[in-house]
Copies of this chain bind each other. A is one copy, B any other.
Amino acid sequence: MKHLVLAAAAASLALPVTAQEPVPNPSPGEIAAAAPASDWVAIAPSELLVMDLAPDATGKARRVVIQLMPAPFSQGWIGNIRKLAAAHWWDGTSINRVQDNYVVQWGDATEKKALPEGLMTVPESGYVTTSDAISEANAKHLDLVGGGESALAAALSAEAAAVKSENNAAQFSIDGTRTKAAPGGWHERDSYTSWVEIFNGWPVAAEQSGEGVWHYWPVHCYGAVGVGRNMSPDTGSGAELYTVIGEAPRHLDRNIALVGRVITGMEYLTSLPRGTGALGFYEDAAQRVPIRSIRMANELSQDDQPKFEILSTDSVTFHRYVEARANRRDPFFIKPAGGVGICNIPVPVRMAPK
């Protein structure tokens, strides 16, 4: 008897490129893998930050690729990060902190390296953005899903009718109207705030101010990349970065800037030895992991550029994927949950087909 223990794997970040045959009760990963080519969107090399660590003890290369957030989120810090990468500022710096179930952090361990000129000091107001700013940055996106009887809304309604199962209807549903109520996303009950959704490819939370203005902010999920800082009102320059390696530390939302997420190579960070100093800093400088270079992908030679695609979160495929994450019906499962946390919906990313 083949031991199928825990065969119900989470959809991996890097999916196989070949589309698969439809199966009766597909897993979220199978749904994404079966998406038509038109649902996949190329990620521009100018949006990818490439971190090459020193090879591991066996000589194996370790490359981590980070996708930066789109406007209007965190653009002040992201501008700084582009300048730091262009100045090759991180070359020769290191990973200095690995705290279990929290973060891996990198930057200049000496805290003495001069920063390049022209970095912006971003105010704390930059931790959130407004629906007006989103509207400006994403006019096309809002047209697609915000207006009346769009094709997507209609497709989602049909989809909702098709996938709604009697068991779960009460707790969870795909609903064109609810989806249309927010710009472009998916939402559910959240332990931290009144609204969460996947917006334009990214998990975000939102809340309405007293004046009726909606404020949006990115959320700390596994693999999210943020900006280390000193005590308030400092907000960090972007030179000191970290990524989340445990349960989503959502208490950091709106307290610290998020700028992107790791889309490949996460295992080179998560498998590092935990630091034994306070907050997981390495006590011995020899434990630090050298960073060979950090570059924007478009600065690399054509052959060396990583090529990735993201599953459009405006596609019907993506909505089916989310619904399946909330209601697992693939063969391993006996009880679909009827809901899903915003940080348990990794947006599918794959290497671009050659």
Measured CB to CB, the residues of A under 8 A from B are: 1, 3-10, 97-103, 105, 107, 111, 124, 127, 171, 188-194, 221-223, 228-232, 236, 240, 242, 245-256, 266-267, 270-274, 278-280, 325-326, 328, 331-344, 346
Contact = CB atoms under 8 A, between A and B. Distances in A.
Contact of A341 (B4, B98, B192, B346): B192
B191 A340 contact: yes
B9 A102 contact: yes
Contacts of A339: 190-193
23 contacts: A5-B228, A5-B229, A6-B228, A6-B229, A6-B242, A6-B256, A6-B279, A7-B231, A8-B255, A100-B267, A188-B191, A191-B339, A191-B344, A192-B337, A221-B247, A246-B246, A247-B248, A247-B341, A247-B344, A250-B337, A251-B325, A251-B333, A251-B344
Contact of A191 (B190, B222, B229, B334): B190
| Copies of this chain per assembly | 2
B111 A3 contact: yes
Contacts of A336: 251
Contact of A5 (B100, B190, B240, B332): B240
A165 to B, nearest CB: 15
Nearest to A241: B5
Contacts of A127: 335
A6 B97 CA distance: 10
A186 B232 CA distance: 31
A276 to B, nearest CB: 9
B193 A222 contact: no
Given A3-B111, A4-B230, A9-B280, 4 more contacts: A100-B267, A251-B344, A254-B334, A271-B272
B240 A3 contact: yes
Contacts of A274: 267, 270-271
B10 A249 contact: yes
Contacts of A231: 4, 7, 331-332
A97 B6 CA distance: 10
B251 A334 contact: no
A273 B60 CA distance: 13
Candidate in A6, A231, A266 with the most chain B CB atoms within 10 angstroms: A6
Nearest to A276: B267
